[in-house]
Structure 1
């Protein structure tokens, strides 16, 4: 089963959803702004992506620039910040049973389909 962590207001996320839909594979949508991820869920996704938490942060968001940019945060603290402020999570994220990717660029999604 494919899961897409989606924000319907984001053009890149909508493009990612179209790729998933067109794949013909079974999928589910999780609108993570409406149904936020727990710290454990986010940590598991980051592990599946094989990235560090800072690589998942949207650094151009106002809240990041105003509240967190100049702080030296641990990986655990970054995960907490993203779960409390889900707008800071890059999107879309597409996940299968074994791995997950950030759908930027969109061809990354093919890796998990």
Structure 2
């Protein structure tokens, strides 16, 4: 399995995806095709945390007046399944690894993975 979860309207996602040969990857635009419970479970297996997958920059946080400090893992899971902007992106998911987000360290690890 090789999947990339991204948002088409996100310049950062598009920039990152353009750096790699993704012809063998399933590309998932999360606004058009939201994350499934099974996919989230697969991500959780690799991270052991829903919070790690959660984007603390989502505009929904302010709109919903969420207090991030009070959220539990169960809350993070429900929010991730509820709205696509809560997923930190892009997420590259393989059978053995997961790469989450756009921070420099993650991108360097992705470059090493792609060789």
TM-score by length of 2: 0.78
2:111 counterpart of 1:110: yes
Give the match's secondary structure for 1:109: helix
Deviations, residues 31-73 of structure 1 (Å, cap 9, x unaligned):
111111123321321332x252222222222211342225622
Provide structure 1 residue ranges, at least 5 long, that are not aligned to the other structure. Answer: none
CA RMSD, Structure 1 to Structure 2 (Å): 2.2
Write out aligned runs for 1:27-46 (5 A): 27-46=25-44
Q: Structure 1 residue runs of 4+, over 4 Å off?
A: none
Question: Which residue number corresponds to residue 16 of structure 1?
Answer: 16
Write out aligned runs for 1:76-95 (5 A): 76-95=74-93
Stretch moving more, 28-37 or 66-75:
66-75
Corresponding residue pairs, total: 110
Provide structure 2 residue ranges, at least 5 long, that are not aligned to the other structure. Answer: none
User: In the aligned structure 1, how far is the partner of 2:18 from the partner of 2:62?
Assistant: 31
User: In the aligned structure 1, how far is the partner of 2:100 from the partner of 2:67?
Assistant: 21
Residues 59, 85 of structure 2: 8 Å contact kept: no
